Amino acid sequence: MPRRAVGVVTGHLFKVMRESVPLTQEQAAAALGVDKATVQGWESGRRPLTSTRAGTLREATRTLLALGAGPGYLGFLGEALDADGLISYALESSADVRPGEHPLSHWVMTRDLSHALTWPLTGEWPTALPARPSPRARGPVAAAPALSASERTAFFTHMRRVAEQASEAGVTGALLRRQALYLCAHDSAPDTGAWLAHMRRSTLHGDRWTPYWADARSLATSLARHGDPDPLRHFIERALSTEEGETANLRYWAYWLGLDRTLRTSDTFMASPDGGDAWDGVGLLRNLTGRLGPHLRAIDLNVHTVWALLKARPGVLHAADRELTGRLRTAVTCLLDQTETHVTTRRKLESVQYGLSLQP
CB atoms within 10 A of CB 28: 26
Four-residue CA torsion sign, 249, 252, 256, 262 = positive
> How far apart are the C-alpha atoms of 307 and 5, rounded to whole Å?
45
Average pLDDT over residues 7-24: 92
| pTM for this model (two decimals) | 0.92
Domain locations along the chain: 1-75, 280-360
The Cα 202–Cα 290 span in angstroms is 33
Taking alpha carbons only, the member of 82, 80, 119 closest to residue 104 is 82
Residues 278, 20: Cα–Cα separation, whole Å: 35
* φ and ψ of 208, to 5 deg: -105, 160
* Residues whose CB falls within 8 Å of the CB of residue 69, separated by 6 or more in sequence, listed in order: 17, 18, 20, 21, 61
| pLDDT tens profile 123-162 | 999 999 998 877 655 545 677 898 889 999 999 999 999 9
Residue 1's pLDDT is 47
pLDDT digits (tens, 9 = 90+) for 162-177: 999 999 888 889 999 9
What is the third-level CATH fold of 1-75? 434 Repressor (Amino-terminal Domain) (1.10.260)
Reported confidence tier of residue 2, pLDDT bands at 50, 70, 90: very low
Question: 209-260: per-residue pLDDT in tens?
Answer: 788 899 999 999 999 999 999 999 999 999 999 999 999 999 999 999 999 9
Average pLDDT, the chain: 90
Q: What percent of the chain has pLDDT over 70?
A: 92
Among 62-71, 140-149, 227-236, 289-298, the minimum mean pLDDT is found in 140-149
- Torsion over CA of 308, 269, 72 and 78, rounded to 10 degrees? -160
Is 70 exceeded by the pLDDT of residue 62?
Answer: yes
pLDDT band at 339 (very low <50, low <70, confident <90, very high): confident
* Exposed / middle / buried, residue 218 (Cβ in 10 Å: 0-12, 13-18, 19+): buried
